[in-house]
Structure 1
Amino acid sequence: MSARVLVVDDVPANIKLLEARLTAEYFDVVAAAGGVEALDICTRAQCDIVLLDVMMPGMDGFEVCRRLKANPLTDHVPVIMVTALDQASDRIKGLEAGADDFLTKPVNEVALLTRVRSLVRLKLVLDELRMRAATSREIGLADPLAEAAVETGVGGRVLIVEDRPSAAERISAALQHEQTVEVEADPQEALFRAAEGNFDLVIVSLGLNGFDGLRLCGQLRSLDRTRHVPVLVLVEADDSERLMRALELGVNDYLLRPIDRQELLARARTQVKKRRYADRLRDNVQHSMELAITDGLTGLHNRRYMESHLGAVLERATARAKPVSLLILDIDHFKAVNDTFGHDAGDDVLREFALRLRRSIRNVDLACRYGGEEFVVVMPDTDIAIASVVAERIRRNIATEPFAVNQGTRLLDVTISIGLTARQDQADTADTILKRADQALYRAKRDGRNRVVADAA
């Protein structure tokens, strides 16, 4: 996994130390010596995560964090505060400012890399949701970003997995004024309840008697129903090895014992808010897309959505100097299918083609029906060499297995022609990249069909 990390510190030696550690793990690092510069870099979407020093002249880290989280353009960027302050009150102040996590100086290298990777994974998911949400807003639908941003993190459903009654009672008492709390002492039963209970947060003690709490964390991350539920672990202060393992498993946050009540409340609110933010983005995006920009026959996005989405993808790629590739696919001799076997058979071919196309691309790629028997695939962060491999895989998946039509009574051999191109420079627009791919498609059909041709420009 690679990402761009912004390191904000007024001491050059501190920047060089963090930069050396991060670049050794193949992260791109940019630096800012103060808060104003950091805010500018983030506003221009030039980082994926911020490592933010607290003690800086002029604007301190708390104020920088507050401004980042108050700006709709930057509120989704994860912030890790790096500080020599280790009091619970300082962590609470940072959490209330919107910080996602903390690292205490001197920075432990394992903790640094684990935290950065964990938050980058989360941001990659949210970036895709936000991109889709922005597209729905641009074409005149309800704005899911504005709706998602109003969450406070209060009133969530929290499951506490703790087999020590006194500890469970203290945690429950601290949370119950802001959250709806349930307690489960049996970890196996807790897994079942988490899967069925639609919780906003699961708090897991790593000190369970006779059961490895890490195993429960891993199970929560492996099940479809609990994969997106935030998990916060409770761990002894000297148990750093198990804490690192928990973070590697995808745990979202942790608290060291003895637990500070105010920090528990603040971290619970943060995780509930993140869960609801992501869920609302998913729900609103899915609903609005289905209503307005989905092709009714194939279930793929339609041309209207694709053109807006492609524009957003190209804009983001330009800001981050990333590649974008695009495929245009055309079903060969499709008119003959309709003329010979009827339009019902043609519809069968289109539906099956869409299914095979979806199975051949990544979740981050966008497949749409461009019109008639033409389809488009938009591939963010993908160069033309990789896109060529994917295009050939799609072509084979179509050509090697006949299509069943007319309720399975007839099998038809189907082939496709594919034209592909990639973003070349900042001047590329949705129209220019589509035109180049269409020209490549024309050459593929002219040269005999059932082939992939890349734009030669």
Structure 2
Amino acid sequence: MTARVLVVDDIAANVKLLEARLTAEYFDVVTASNGPQALEIAEKGQCDVVLLDVMMPGMDGFEVCRRLKANPATHHLPVVMVTALDQPSDRVKGLEAGADDFLTKPVNDLALITRVRSLARLKLMTDELRLRATTGRHMGLDDPLAAAIKVGGDNGRILVVEDRASAAERLREYLERNHRVDVEPDPQEALFRLADDNYDVAVVSLSLSGFDALRLCSQIRSLERTRNLPIVLIADPEESVRILRGLEIGVSDYVIRPIDRNELKARIATQVRRKRYTDKLRDNVQLSVTMAFTDALTGLHNRRYMETHLRSLVEQASDRGRALSVMVLDIDYFKAVNDTHGHDAGDDVLREFARRVRRTVRGIDLVCRLGGEEFVVVMPETDMALAVRVAERVRRAVCEEPFVVLDGALVLDITVSVGVGVLEQPGEAPDAILKRADMALYAAKRNGRNRVVADAA
């Protein structure tokens, strides 16, 4: 996956080394030589993961991390401390400042790339939630980002999955002062409990006997109910390869035996806070969408939501130098459907059309009904060539299978015309992109309908 990594170190040789390693794995890299410069880059939204040196003159890495986590605009950024400090007390200090992990110098290449990929995936999962929550704020709702960063990391519900009684009791003892802790020795039963109950963190021993702990982690990630549940591995020092494999499949964090009580406490608190943060954003998104921004007929976002959210997406793409495309879709001869078969048939067509479009595009793409038979799809990180391919997929998904409406009493052949426009320069007005896509749509209509036309201006 592509991500932009901010490397912060006052020693140029260290920066060059990390930059070379990350670039070789196709990450984009930006650099900063001091704390204030790093804070400025992060606040502008120009990075996805921060690799932060601890020992810097002036503002050290701990203070930079604290400031990143205290700012609603940068609170969600994953931070990895890169340091020669290797004592548990140093790790605890960094975790309490908000760091997501530590890499000890000299940095192991495999650990570096695996951890950055894992945290970049985590960032991607929260980005859309934050963006949509921000849209709700623009519409006059309470600021969800400011509220979300105030959540605490205590009194969470923790399920410990450990089949050795003595080890399970030690973990319970370490955690129960700050959390409500359950222990489950059976991995399969643990999966059921996690799916049925509202836990904040799963703590899984990597040394389960008779069962592959990583398979349990993969199963947790595969269930809709537990897909976003934080998972913390408890591992032995010699299990580094399996730890890295765990991070690749979605494990959130890990603690190495012998367990330092304070480090475990800090890491679990971080995961509880992160889950509550995303839960608050998700709740806010659901509330705002339900209240104000959903088209009742199709379940898609409406024009009001699209206009504000498109503005946010264009600003984000401009700030990061990324591509963005817009499709405008119009169902061909839709008025004839209403006139000939009635509005109930027309409504069925609109609902099925929305379902097919949503099924064909990505989850991160924004699908909206502008009104009547006109729809818009906004596609972040998508250039013109890719947007045209996606538009063709949508067109085929509509025309290649008849629409069955009125509870099966009527079968209709439906087609769609599509116009595509792209963000041409940073800071461009969203209306300009929409206008170009709209003009391309008109060209598609003039040229015979049931086709895709891309704006080439």
Answer yes or no: same fold by TM over 0.5.
yes
Q: Which residue of 2 aligns with 1:319?
A: 319
Q: Which moved more, 1:236-245 or 1:10-19?
A: 236-245
User: TM-score, length-normalised on structure 1?
Assistant: 0.98
- Alpha-carbon distance in structure 2 between the residues aligned to 1:248 and 1:323: 27
- Alpha-carbon distance in structure 2 between the residues aligned to 1:152 and 1:297: 39
- Alpha-carbon distance in structure 1 between the residues aligned to 2:380 and 2:102: 31
- Alpha-carbon distance in structure 1 between the residues aligned to 2:407 and 2:182: 50
Pairs within 5 Å for 1:159-238: 159-238=159-238
Pairs within 5 Å for 1:269-418: 269-418=269-418
Q: Is the 8 A contact 1:325 1:383 kept in 2?
A: yes
**Which residue type is aligned with residue 345 of structure 1?**
A
Q: Is the 8 A contact 1:144 1:285 kept in 2?
A: no
Q: Secondary structure at the match of 1:376?
A: strand
Poorly superposed stretches of 4+, deviation over 3 Å: none
Deviation at residue 243 of structure 1 after TM alignment: 1.4
Q: Is the 8 A contact 2:220 2:226 kept in 1?
A: yes
Q: Is the 8 A contact 2:134 2:145 kept in 1?
A: yes
**Which residue type is aligned with residue 406 of structure 1?**
L
**Which residue type is aligned with residue 365 of structure 2?**
D
Q: Secondary structure at the match of 2:229?
A: coil
Q: Is the 8 A contact 2:54 2:82 kept in 1?
A: yes
Q: Which residue of 2 aligns with 1:446?
A: 446
- Alpha-carbon distance in structure 1 between the residues aligned to 2:218 and 2:416: 42
- Alpha-carbon distance in structure 2 between the residues aligned to 1:210 and 1:361: 41
Pairs within 5 Å for 1:55-204: 55-204=55-204
Q: Is the 8 A contact 2:437 2:455 kept in 1?
A: yes
- Alpha-carbon distance in structure 1 between the residues aligned to 2:349 and 2:163: 56
Q: Is the 8 A contact 2:319 2:426 kept in 1?
A: no
- Alpha-carbon distance in structure 2 between the residues aligned to 1:407 and 1:237: 61
> Percent same amino acid among aligned pairs?
65
How many pairs were matched up? Answer: 457
Q: Which residue of 1 aligns with 2:245?
A: 245
- Alpha-carbon distance in structure 2 between the residues aligned to 1:427 and 1:83: 38
Deviation at residue 407 of structure 1 after TM alignment: 2.2
- Alpha-carbon distance in structure 1 between the residues aligned to 2:35 and 2:294: 43
Deviation at residue 212 of structure 1 after TM alignment: 2.0
Q: Secondary structure at the match of 1:137?
A: helix
- Alpha-carbon distance in structure 1 between the residues aligned to 2:338 and 2:155: 56
Which ranges of structure 1 fall in alignment gaps of 5 or more residues?
A: none
Q: Deviations for 1:235-278, whole angstroms, at most 9, x for unmatched residues?
A: 11122122112112211100000101111111110001111111
- Alpha-carbon distance in structure 2 between the residues aligned to 1:245 and 1:437: 44
User: TM-score, length-normalised on structure 2?
Assistant: 0.98
Q: Secondary structure at the match of 1:215?
A: helix
Which ranges of structure 2 fall in alignment gaps of 5 or more residues?
A: none
Deviation at residue 288 of structure 1 after TM alignment: 1.2
**Which residue type is aligned with residue 372 of structure 2?**
G
Deviation at residue 405 of structure 1 after TM alignment: 2.1
Deviation at residue 142 of structure 1 after TM alignment: 3.1
Deviation at residue 427 of structure 1 after TM alignment: 4.2
- Alpha-carbon distance in structure 1 between the residues aligned to 2:180 and 2:48: 33
- Alpha-carbon distance in structure 2 between the residues aligned to 1:143 and 1:367: 24
